[in-house]
A and B are shown apart, each in its own frame.
Chain A
């Protein structure tokens, strides 16, 4: 009696420990979509099946080892084969496996059905950022890490969302089916957001599909899940889920901005306009490396303030910003920034922080270079 009680208490405390471990953030999240919750419950069902099997198998094993030990005079049985036992221990696992495969397959089938989406988003991996394009909406932008360099270099305390923050999150509507078309410009990346139960490889030359229907507004974070080079850890994913009408007005706003920018390419911009726009772009993208005051961080990141060689060579300046410097952290910005942003940031760099080249770079000039 007391023995049984000890057994029950042992098993109970094991189960308690297991469930509290699971509840303490060690487990996968249940997520905020139908599919993610289905995956979670599959995971838990299979987990508990494994726990029960483990307890039964090891229980029988340890009990037999203990109960029939030699010091108590146990004699080993000496027989060969028992067809019915063999049939049972083959059939039972088979049934368990099939029983787990059936619901798992049904979920997989749902996960692969990306048809009839309300919104298409093209997701492109790039070393080391994500590019999002809302297909047919004329809205696209690049989402890059916004954790300050000083935190990465250990000069400042790490923030709450260290390496999980971006300048522009992907904004999605709640309650609508969003289809992702995933591809890559360079190497294989993987777009992964645990709360949405989406982890999809983005492969150059291929377009993979996936979809979500988010149920709760909120911020969901993830990371690139495919080792893609030096800054693999520095290309997080942030999804901001908004209610349908909020999303619609956000999208309309972005569309208007895009149209304004597009019409801005053809017109002549004034120095002041370019400087203002350029300061925004510089602060958002370039300042992490070249510093807000253009002083850089020698020897890795060259100073742009007072950089005579650069100021005397306008063409090289434009070329570096458009095409990057291969083999260095200086990326090509030709496809991540639009002509207005490119012209503005170059103009800004040539006239800010005491740089007095007086040069104006017009968006139309950049547009012509991009079309070459």
Chain B
């Protein structure tokens, strides 16, 4: 699970290690990456919204 989260974070940032990529493609399940990706996108949106709300106060 932690591996999947790390890879999704790397994808958000836009840089991934080649070794990790090989590992993901051989051992990971696509469904897990998609699910974690959606959840983390939602978290990102909420984080940005929270910062915006705080700044607007």
Contacts and interface: CB of A to CB of B under 8 A. Distances in A.
Interface of A: 80-81, 83, 86-87, 90, 105, 109
Interface string B11-22: 001110110000
9 contacts: A80-B18, A81-B18, A83-B15, A83-B17, A83-B18, A87-B13, A90-B13, A90-B15, A105-B55
B49 to A, nearest CB: 15
A105 B55 CA distance: 9
Interface string B36-57: 0000000000000000000110
Nearest to B56: A109
Interface residues of B, number: 7
Contacts of A105: 55
A96 to B, nearest CB: 16
A81 B14 CA distance: 13
A87 to B, nearest CB: 5
Contacts of A81: 18
A62 to B, nearest CB: 27
B15 to A, nearest CB: 4
A86 B15 contact: yes
Which of B14, B15, B55, B56 counts the most chain A CB atoms within 10 A? Answer: B15
A135 to B, nearest CB: 27
Which 3 pairs from chain A and chain B are nearest by CB? A86-B15, A83-B17, A87-B15
A90 B56 CA distance: 28
A81 to B, nearest CB: 6
A109 B53 CA distance: 12
Interface in B22-45: none
Given A81-B18, A83-B15, 6 more contacts: A86-B15, A87-B13, A90-B14, A90-B15, A105-B55, A109-B55
A141 to B, nearest CB: 37
Contacts of B15: 83, 86-87, 90
Contacts of B14: 90
A93 to B, nearest CB: 11
B39 to A, nearest CB: 23
Contacts of A83: 15, 17-18
Contacts of A87: 13, 15
Contacts of B17: 83
A105 B18 CA distance: 38
Nearest to A81: B18
Nearest to A87: B15
A361 B18 CA distance: 89
A369 B14 CA distance: 69
Contacts of A90: 13-15
Nearest to A102: B55
Contacts of B13: 87, 90
Nearest to A89: B15
A53 to B, nearest CB: 19
A86 B18 CA distance: 12
Nearest to B52: A105
Nearest to A91: B13
A109 B15 CA distance: 34
